[in-house]
Amino acid sequence: MSSRDLVLARVRQALADVPGGEGPGDGGTGGQGSAGPPVVRDYHRVHGSRTQAQTVDLLAENLADYRAIVHRTDAEGLPGLIGRLLAERGARSVLVPPGLDASWTTGADVTLVEDRVSSTARELDRVDSVLTGCAVAVAETGTLILDAGPGQGRRRITLVPDHHLCVVRVPDQVVGSVPEALPRVAPDRPLTWISGPSATSDIELDRVEGVHGPRTLEVILLSAAQRAD
Amino acid sequence: MSGTYLGMPAFPRAAATATRDTRLRANLTHATRTIRDKRAKAVAELDDWAELRAAGAAVKDRTLRHLDHYLEQLEAAVTAAGGQVHWALDADEANRIVTRLVRETGETEVVKVKSMATQEIGLNEALARAGIRAYETDLAELIVQLGHDRPSHILVPAIHRNRAEIRDIFRREMASWGRPAPEGLTDSPAELAEAARLHLREKFLSAKVGISGANFMVAETGTLVVVESEGNGRMCLTLPETLISVVGIEKVVPEWQDLEIFLQLLPRSSTAERMNPYTSTWTGTTDGDGPQTFHLVLLDNGRTDTLADTVGRQALRCIRCSACLNVCPVYERAGGHAYGSPYPGPIGAILTPQLRGLAGPLEESLPYASSLCGACYEVCPVAIDIPEVLVHLRERVVQGGPVTLGGTRTVLQPAKGHAAERAAMRAAGWAFDHPGALRTGMRLAARTRRLHPRRLPGPGRVWSRTRDLPEVPAESFRDWWQRTRGTSSGRGTWAEPGTSSEPGTSSEQRGDAK
């Protein structure tokens, strides 16, 4: 008997008390004929009611609360803002994932480093900044979700450089809560959820930003209204 | 201090030593109080916490009740996504599998994400015996590893160390593992974190094999989830060519949607954050992004034995948030090492004896490592009734009874050393059945109270060594009631052996007469 078969046999033997009629399913109602506990999803889909603008404000507030630096602009102001932020940091090179809107970097006086599958971690380590979009942002938790889609690139590029500049299109990429976020991303893609810069609380539970991931996370909330002009 | 838990003394002895360590107690008191207050605030932000908690518990229970189904579903989904699934009955088998997988890559160094499962099986030591060096990359695990120490907290393994101790460890040890600590390193947390960053980055950039655990596995999709803060997890999960994840079989959840519950419960319960800085999910392998070879090692190691206990199986709901440690008065004073396993605190007190079986003095002592105050149950985000399981396990220790060990049902014999307790309980049972004897005994105890020793002699010595004997009052409650509420002539109406009147009845009668 293989270990696989043994483990499964032990599981089945351990569950001798579970009635034969009880199916796995989603737990059903837990009513008649079911000895198992019901799975009741009566928690909120979102906490509180907000307008779209208030949801975006909450995102900005919660991002800032975990020491991300938040900026707001429109399509017209975006290249200038990106150029200014990179210049202020003294960044000379910036990583750009495939599929990134080329207009975003027109105001930046830096070397653009295209991410390729062949580029090594050491090469990424020599780059000053990385510029990406995102898939979804979660207001209640101040979280950016990247799903490796166009304009976001591989998981490693937002990890190795010390400065991550992330553009969120508001309000269409912003959801209120974690339950609202999950259906918007596909589990078969690798996901990275980012809430503030890298941090540790391992020394006397004092929170320190910047351990292994980017020490600086800047988020640009790109508003749609003016973008349509 | 050695890196393994073998031969750990039983809890009372280890705790007696730990509680005398004033620096340890100061470090722990500071840390646990800080996190306790922050957690309460983070939880209070969600007005549906009770509903989330109930849903989390129910999803986990449902999954456990059909674990075979979900494990097979998970295996199929991971395999379909390009991963390879291995099954390990126990620690030895898991270590053999991982060692073989690392050897097949030709590498002799691996980078590791902090993982309770690999601590539990002693993977680092097993790899070392095979000539493979495992580098812990979580800051706290690095502190523990460099300090030749053992973790003492689920979430903050170096919670017992303060910043000055950490600086000393870095200065002394970093050079022999790689990049030395920077000159003039101070004990500021920011500088210490920076030293760890520099020290470990070399390892990340050259690592070919990463080893992790997982916080959750989604059966429906084959997705694994790792929740972390520093980015060391992301480094280990994405930079190496080969990823090996060792995960306990209880970590499976049925559906993608279930993550909406646990990704709300876990961060707020553990670090008191709305969300931890980084969460990574991956499903098998992805072309051109991350490791191109992925192995999942599913670990039993006592979990199916735990599952067989209908009271104790709720311990397998645990999502390792460590909230129960931070509120536990016993943990706060004794520290994590006293629990003799990677799982300290209240959850360790029920998990370790179940995973290993009530197999020795340490495991038998752990169900007693609690004041049964219930704070751990209150904060548990998946509502594990830890006090209930503690009492259940105490009964097993004292009385013996049916257990499952290594998949075989057997009857546990009462533990040695509890004979006096059983005798005392039998005597108490007899006394409560014989009210007259009880009354005589209480009076005798009250009259001789000045003569009572602070520690019991003879067979009671073991019991009283770790407890303060209760002081006997000058007058028993029954006598007080008699004196103040009863009639003076009522004294004689209390049941003596051989009389038929019930104490309750006679007192009621007197109440009516008043």
DSSP assignment of B192-205 equals HHHHHHHHHHHHHH
Closest residue by Cα to residue B35 from B315, B312, B328? B328
Is A205 in Cβ contact with B35 (below 8 Å)? yes
Is B310 in Cβ contact with A39 (below 8 Å)? no
Q: How far apart are CA A137 and CA A143, in angstroms?
A: 6
Q: Which of A37, A43, A198 is closest, CB to CB, to B51? A: A43
Chain B interface disruption, residue of A62, A182, A200, most B CBs within 10 A: A200
Confidence band for B507, pLDDT divided at 50, 70 and 90: very low
CA nearest to A18 within chain B: B65
Is B70 in Cβ contact with A190 (below 8 Å)? no
CB of A136 within 8 A of CB of A145?
Answer: yes
Closest residue by Cα to residue B195 from A202, A69, A158, A216? A202
CB of A176 within 8 A of CB of A139?
Answer: yes
List residues bridging with A105 in a β-sheet. none
pLDDT of residue B488: 55
pLDDT over 90 percentage in chain B: 74
Is A142 in Cβ contact with B51 (below 8 Å)? no
Chain B interface disruption, residue of A5, A156, A212, A217, most B CBs within 10 A: A212
Q: Which of B58, B205, B307 is closest, CB to CB, to A11? A: B307
Q: How far apart are CA B310 and CA B33, in angstroms?
A: 34
Q: How far apart are CA B345 and CA B153, in angstroms?
A: 8
| Pairwise pLDDT comparison (A184 vs B436), residue with the higher score | A184
Judge whether A122 is closer than 8 Å to chain B, CB to CB: yes
Q: Which of B62, B249, B304 is closest, CB to CB, to A27? A: B62
CB of B18 within 8 A of CB of B334?
Answer: yes
CA nearest to B284 within chain A: A188
pLDDT over 70 percentage in chain B: 93
Q: How far apart are CA B22 and CA B17, in angstroms?
A: 10
pLDDT digits (tens, 9 = 90+) for A114-167: 998 888 899 999 999 999 999 999 999 999 999 999 999 999 999 999 999 999
| Pairwise pLDDT comparison (B460 vs B147), residue with the higher score | B147
How many angstroms separate the CA of residue A229 from the nearest CA in chain B? 35
Cβ-based contacts of A47 with chain B (< 8 Å): 45-48
CA nearest to A47 within chain B: B46
pLDDT of residue A34: 45
Closest residue by Cα to residue A26 from B51, B281, B81, B220? B220
How many angstroms separate the CA of residue A76 from the nearest CA in chain B? 31
CA nearest to A7 within chain B: B89
CB of A113 within 8 A of CB of A127?
Answer: yes
Is A14 in Cβ contact with B304 (below 8 Å)? yes
CA nearest to A2 within chain B: B87
Is B307 in Cβ contact with A14 (below 8 Å)? yes
Judge whether A196 is closer than 8 Å to chain B, CB to CB: yes
Judge whether A24 is closer than 8 Å to chain B, CB to CB: yes
Q: What secondary structure does DSSP assign to B15-77, as a single string?
A: HHHHTT-HHHHHHHHHHHHHHHHHHHHHHHT-TTHHHHHHHHHHHHHHHHHTHHHHHHHHHHH
pLDDT digits (tens, 9 = 90+) for B11-60: 988 998 899 999 889 989 988 888 999 999 999 999 999 999 999 999 99
Average pLDDT over all residues of chain B: 91
Q: Is B218 helix (H, G, I), strand (E, B) or coil?
A: strand
Cβ-based contacts of B280 with chain A (< 8 Å): 155, 190-193
Is A18 in Cβ contact with B66 (below 8 Å)? yes
Is B54 in Cβ contact with A40 (below 8 Å)? yes
Residue B505 has pLDDT above 90, yes or no: no
**Per the structure block, which two tokens stand in for B6?**
């073998």
Is A12 in Cβ contact with B288 (below 8 Å)? no
Q: Angle, to 10 degrees, between the axis of helix B67-80 and the axis of helix B49-65?
A: 90
Please state the three-class secondary structure of B94-137 as a single string.
HHHHHHHHHHHHCCCEEEECCCHHHHHHCHHHHHHHCCCEEEEC
Give residue for tokens 């990359």: B137
Chain A interface disruption, residue of B264, B305, B313, B409, most A CBs within 10 A: B264
pLDDT digits (tens, 9 = 90+) for B271-322: 999 999 999 999 999 999 999 999 999 999 999 999 999 999 999 999 999 9
Q: How far apart are CA B413 and CA A111, in angstroms?
A: 73
- Please tell me the total number of residues recorded for chain B in this structure: 514
Pairing status of strand B216-218 against strand B252-253: parallel
pLDDT of residue A225: 59
B277 Cβ neighbours under 8 A, 6+ residues apart: A66, A194, A195, A196, A197, A198, A199, A213, B228, B229, B230, B231
CA nearest to A214 within chain B: B231
Confidence band for B506, pLDDT divided at 50, 70 and 90: very low
Cβ-based contacts of A10 with chain B (< 8 Å): 300, 304-305, 307-308, 407
Judge whether A189 is closer than 8 Å to chain B, CB to CB: yes
Q: Is B453 helix (H, G, I), strand (E, B) or coil?
A: coil
Q: Which of residues 147-166 of A touch B (CB under 8 A)?
A: 148, 154-156, 159
Give the amino acid at A109.
D
Q: How far apart are CA B261 and CA B50, in angstroms?
A: 12
pLDDT digits (tens, 9 = 90+) for B59-72: 999 999 999 999 99
CA nearest to A139 within chain B: B274
Q: How far apart are CA B350 and CA B348, in angstroms?
A: 5
Give residue for tokens 């306990």: B248
CA nearest to A138 within chain B: B275
Q: Find the mean pLDDT for residues B6-11.
A: 80
Is B81 in Cβ contact with A6 (below 8 Å)? no
Give residue for tokens 């004689």: B492
Q: How far is CA B409 from CA B249, B315, B357, B406, B505, in A?
A: 20, 19, 12, 8, 47
> For B400-476, where are the alpha helices, taking DSSP H only?
419-433, 435-447, 461-465
Q: How far is CA B3 from CA A111, B151, B156, in A?
A: 48, 9, 17
CB of B217 within 8 A of CB of A187?
Answer: no
Q: pLDDT below 70 — which residues of chain A?
A: 26-36, 225-229
Q: Which of A38, A142, A192 is closest, CB to CB, to B280? A: A192
Cβ-based contacts of A208 with chain B (< 8 Å): 189-190, 193
Pairing status of strand A136-138 against strand A143-146: antiparallel
Judge whether A186 is closer than 8 Å to chain B, CB to CB: no
pLDDT digits (tens, 9 = 90+) for B92-137: 999 999 999 999 999 999 999 999 999 999 999 999 999 999 999 9
Give the amino acid at B20.
R
pLDDT of residue B455: 80
Closest residue by Cα to residue A179 from B180, B262, B464, B376? B262
**Per the structure block, which two tokens stand in for B479?**
């006598």
What is the interface size between A and B, counted as CB pairs within 8 Å?
A: 266
Q: What secondary structure does DSSP assign to A155-219, as a single string?
A: GGGGTSSSEEEEEEEETTTEESSHHHHGGGS-TTS-EEEE-SS-EEEEETTEEEE-SSS-SEEEE
Q: Which of A9, A39, A193 is closest, CB to CB, to B279? A: A193
CB of B189 within 8 A of CB of A208?
Answer: yes
pLDDT of residue B513: 40
Q: What is the largest CA-CA distance in chain A?
A: 69
CB of A218 within 8 A of CB of A56?
Answer: no
Is A159 in Cβ contact with B235 (below 8 Å)? yes
Closest residue by Cα to residue B450 from B472, B470, B469? B472
Dihedral angle, C-alpha B169, B173, B174, B176, nearest 10 °: -170
Q: Is B216 helix (H, G, I), strand (E, B) or coil?
A: strand
Closest residue by Cα to residue B290 from B221, B206, B202, B210? B210
CA nearest to B250 within chain A: A11
Pairing status of strand A216-223 against strand A69-73: parallel
Confidence band for B494, pLDDT divided at 50, 70 and 90: low
Report the complex ipTM: 0.95
Residue B80 has pLDDT above 60, yes or no: yes
Cβ-based contacts of A183 with chain B (< 8 Å): 257
B363 Cβ neighbours under 8 A, 6+ residues apart: B352, B353, B356, B357
Q: How far apart are CA B334 and CA A128, in angstroms?
A: 46
pLDDT of residue B54: 97
CA nearest to A124 within chain B: B205
List residues bridging with A137 in a β-sheet. A144, A174
Q: How far apart are CA B12 and CA B9, in angstroms?
A: 8
Judge whether A98 is closer than 8 Å to chain B, CB to CB: no
Judge whether A143 is closer than 8 Å to chain B, CB to CB: yes
Dihedral angle, C-alpha B453, B455, B458, B461, nearest 10 °: 170
CB of B209 within 8 A of CB of B107?
Answer: yes
Q: How far apart are CA B358 and CA A100, in angstroms?
A: 59
A171 Cβ neighbours under 8 A, 6+ residues apart: A52, A53, A55, A56, A224
pLDDT digits (tens, 9 = 90+) for B215-257: 999 999 999 999 999 999 999 999 999 999 999 999 999 999 9
Phi, psi torsion values for B318, nearest 5 degrees:
-50, 130
Q: Which of B55, B140, B249 is closest, CB to CB, to A202? A: B140
CA nearest to B278 within chain A: A194
- Please tell me the total number of residues recorded for chain A in this structure: 229
Cis preceding-peptide flag for A171 (omega within 30 of 0): yes
Is B204 in Cβ contact with A121 (below 8 Å)? yes
Confidence band for B483, pLDDT divided at 50, 70 and 90: confident
